[in-house]
């Protein structure tokens, strides 16, 4: 933790950055070590340097992150929640990847549920930030007549790539606007 925080101090001084975001994709990380890291960085960088933490929208178990948030939230300015990619080609059907609210048959994979779940689990509401995707996902439907989002819209694979993103199943916001 000390070496990492010292390198962040060096980066701040050299590049004049005003903050750092710690993106934790895997909840199996050591919560005590993460809390120590947050505390060390806050002490070395001071109150005017932004320290943010990025978490997945939903998790099979909130426990690993909650242990860090319970002790470490005081060192954070914001908690970014990745409220996107909740659905995609990996599901085998076409659906909204960042639905705002629940729909019949899909009560949990939506922004509203995710943000409320983190708040109910103890994350400070005034620090929670919704991640907004400025991109979309595409799929190739098995049957063009079954196109309502959800499990009835069976998809064979990722859809077409964008002209600029060049990634199958992925379009940037401006590519969507051009269509």
Q: What is the pLDDT of residue 62?
A: 61
Hey, which residues are catalytic here?
Answer: 25
3-state secondary structure of 57: coil
* pLDDT of amino acid 140: 92
Give the list of residues 6+ apart from residue 63 with CB closer than 8 angstroms, or none: 27
The predicted structure's pLDDT at residue 122: 80
Q: Using CB atoms within 10 A of its CB, is residue 109 exposed (0-12), middle (13-18) or buried (19+)?
A: buried
Question: Strands 155-158 and 139-141: what pairing?
Answer: antiparallel
Rounded Cα distance between 118 and 113, Å, is: 9
Sign, Cα dihedral of 102, 106, 107, 113: negative
As beta bridge partners, residue 168 has 161
Q: Is 88 helix (H, G, I), strand (E, B) or coil?
A: coil
Digit-by-digit pLDDT tens for the chain (179 residues) are 899 999 999 999 999 999 999 987 766 667 788 889 999 999 999 999 999 988 888 765 566 676 677 778 889 999 999 999 998 888 898 899 999 999 888 888 899 998 998 888 788 899 999 999 999 999 999 999 988 888 888 998 899 999 999 999 999 999 999 98
* Global pTM value: 0.83
What integer pLDDT is reported at residue 99 of this predicted model?
93
């Amino acid at each position: 933790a000390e070496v990492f925080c010292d390198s962040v101090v060096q980066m701040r001084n050299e590049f004049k950055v005003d903050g750092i975001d710690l993106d934790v994709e895997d909840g199996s990380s050591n919560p005590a070590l993460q809390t120590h890291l947050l505390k060390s960085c806050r002490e070395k960088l001071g109150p005017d340097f932004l320290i943010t933490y990025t978490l997945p929208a939903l998790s099979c178990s909130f426990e690993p992150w909650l242990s860090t948030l319970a002790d470490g939230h005081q060192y954070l300015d914001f908690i970014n929640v990745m409220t996107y990619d909740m659905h995609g080609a990996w599901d085998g059907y076409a659906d909204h990847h960042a639905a705002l609210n629940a729909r019949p048959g899909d009560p949990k994979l939506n922004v509203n549920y995710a943000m409320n779940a983190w708040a109910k689990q103890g994350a400070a509401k005034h620090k929670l930030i919704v991640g907004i995707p400025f991109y979309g996902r595409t799929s190739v439907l098995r049957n063009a007549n079954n196109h309502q989002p959800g499990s009835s819209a069976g998809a064979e694979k990722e859809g077409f790539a964008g002209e600029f993103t060049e990634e199958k199943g992925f379009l940037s916001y401006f590519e969507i606007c051009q269509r």
